[in-house]
A and B are shown apart, each in its own frame.
Chain A
Amino acid sequence: MRTVKNARHLLGASLLVLAAWQALVSAGGFSEALFPSPLATLRGFYELIADGVLVRDIGASLGRFAVGYLSSILLAMVLGLVLGWYRGIWSYLNPIAQVLRPISPMAWLPFIVLFFGIGEMPALVIIFIAAFFPVLLATVAAVRGIEPVYLKVAQNFGIRQPAVLTKIVFPAVFPRIATGLHLALGTAWVFLVAGEMVGAQSGLGFLIIDARNNLRADLLMAAIITIGVLGLLLDSGITVVERAIGRRFGSRLA
């Protein structure tokens, strides 16, 4: 029942967007090369799929995303766990994190290019930065807010460091970190495309730059839609994972 209802909502939304889009094209009288009609975009999609460009670029983007995002959240969780535990150190690092956090990863771009060159690395580094702070701060906050009874149980049953962190603290706070992971996924995906615009030779960001340089608005629009749909799929995927985590780690206390 719910899937039927969801499908109806999705279909309705798509039709609405298509109708508005077509109306804009018909009424605006823009050149096809500057603003494509839905039909031209569909043909663009077909072209991208037919010569394998779309699959290649999606693969490249997802690959980069996986490496950047996973390495970032892994480091952020480990650091967050340790820094959340040793409050003294965090008191010094917290102001630094608070200053760095609101800076858009794109602002660092000239320095990133200076340190890492152009091509593959800028995209990875930008995804890394985008995902890092939400996860780090969520982990530190979660560790500091851990239910005291878990620590008492650990102490009572003779569990020592580093086992307290791995056996007790991490699983206890993981449901709360999961929210940070979800947030970071969305942010990182937004910055993937921006990162790929700097000298990458593949990926959806590169596809966008390439389409723009060749005045192929139909391909540009196709790439934009692909990015949106993939973002939605990633988000749905992590929601499923999050629910599973909630069931597995869930409790009255968490």
Chain B
Amino acid sequence: MSYITVRDVSRIYPKQGGTFTALNHVSLTVDRGEFLCLLGPSGCGKSTLLSILAGFDRPTSGSAQIDGKEITAPSLRCVTIFQNYGLLPWRTVEKNVELGLESLGKAPEERRETAHAYLKLVGLERFADHYPAELSGGMQQRVAIARALAVDPDVLFMDEPFAALDAITRMKLQDEISAICREQKKTIIFVTHDIDEAIVLADRIVIMTPNPGKIKAILPVDLHGRRDRTSPDFLHIRDRVFTAFALKPEDKTEYYI
């Protein structure tokens, strides 16, 4: 029995003069501890699928379960990391990290200790008393990750978390964050439209295509333990991803069957 199960999920939004199908009969399973990337162009439903898994949205039909329980609302067991970080600008870095711990009813001293431990993990313990606006984008995202890890969730949902960062910061954070998250043994669902990012991070890549949003293919990524952006393994998988997207014209044929 897999950890996360998506069974025949569709999400249809009403729109002016009709409906818009964001997700069309999507099925997927994810194992505990797996790092899964949802990859595709805008409008392919990857963010909608993540939203449903995170409990912010509900499927129009079908079922989405985590650990055998239907997902109905967001929970502290599954924390989402947003593209624009979602830090609270009126709280210091430390108080941001403590946010979830407050809901867990931890004592102030314990909250402080936990916050500092996770800030240390992301290399920002010196910035505990700063406000988010005083930090660079990459640092802010690291604070958001420390805040998510601080409540010790089982699952992390990441919605294009590095999309707003410059290329070099992005690559550094990709390496750093994937190492931390693997170490902490979290199950991770990561949404991106960046092919290289997906290959560097994922155990499996779910390739999605738009109109209507659906899963085109699922590619296992085996880089033989070396997440090296210039290795032959990397280029080989990249080639396969390119091939998967290049087959897009056949989408329509499939759709009309």
Which residues of A are in contact with B by a Cβ distance under 8 Å? Answer: 149-150, 152-153, 155-159, 168, 171-172, 174, 248-254
Contact = CB atoms under 8 A, between A and B. Distances in A.
Given A157-B79, A157-B103, 4 more contacts: A150-B86, A153-B82, A156-B75, A159-B102
Contacts of B99: 153, 157, 159
Given A152-B80, A157-B100, A250 B89 contact: yes
B82 A149 contact: yes
Nearest to B100: A157
A155 B90 CA distance: 18
16 contacts: A152-B74, A152-B80, A152-B86, A153-B82, A153-B86, A155-B56, A155-B73, A157-B79, A157-B103, A158-B104, A171-B88, A250-B133, A251-B133, A252-B84, A253-B89, A254-B89
A171 B89 CA distance: 9
A249 B92 CA distance: 10
Contacts of B39: none
A82 to B, nearest CB: 20
A2 B76 CA distance: 51
A150 B74 contact: no
B80 A156 contact: yes
A155 to B, nearest CB: 5
Contacts of A172: 88, 90
Contacts of A152: 56, 74, 80, 82, 86
B45 interface: no
A-side interface mostly = helix
Contacts of B89: 249-254
Nearest to B133: A251
B145 interface: no
A53 B84 CA distance: 58
A249 B89 CA distance: 6
A10 B56 CA distance: 56
A250 B131 CA distance: 9
Contacts of A174: 90
Nearest to A157: B100
B188 interface: no
B54 interface: yes
B40 interface: no
A66 B132 CA distance: 34
A159 B103 contact: yes
B151 interface: yes
Contacts of A250: 89, 133
Interface of B: 54, 56, 73-76, 79-80, 82, 84, 86, 88-90, 99-100, 102-104, 132-133, 151
Contacts of A159: 99, 102-103
Nearest to B137: A252
B88 A150 contact: yes
Contacts of A158: 75-76, 100, 103-104
Closest 9 CB pairs of A and B: A251-B89, A158-B103, A157-B100, A171-B90, A156-B74, A249-B90, A149-B86, A153-B86, A155-B74
B123 to A, nearest CB: 22
B254 to A, nearest CB: 34
Contacts of B54: 156
- Residue from B82, B84, B88, B102 having most chain A Cβ neighbours under 10 A: B88
Nearest to B83: A149
B85 to A, nearest CB: 8
B133 A252 contact: yes
A149 B90 contact: no
A250 B79 CA distance: 25
A149 B84 contact: yes
A157 B89 CA distance: 16
Contact of A253 (B56, B75, B80, B84): B84
A149 B84 CA distance: 8
Contacts of A156: 54, 74-76, 79-80
Nearest to B91: A171
Contacts of B132: 251
A252 B131 CA distance: 12
Contact of A153 (B73, B88, B104, B151): B88
A172 B86 CA distance: 12
Contacts of B82: 149, 152-153
A172 B89 CA distance: 8
Contacts of B103: 157-159
A50 B187 CA distance: 78
B90 A248 contact: yes
B248 to A, nearest CB: 31
Contact of A157 (B56, B84, B90, B151): B151
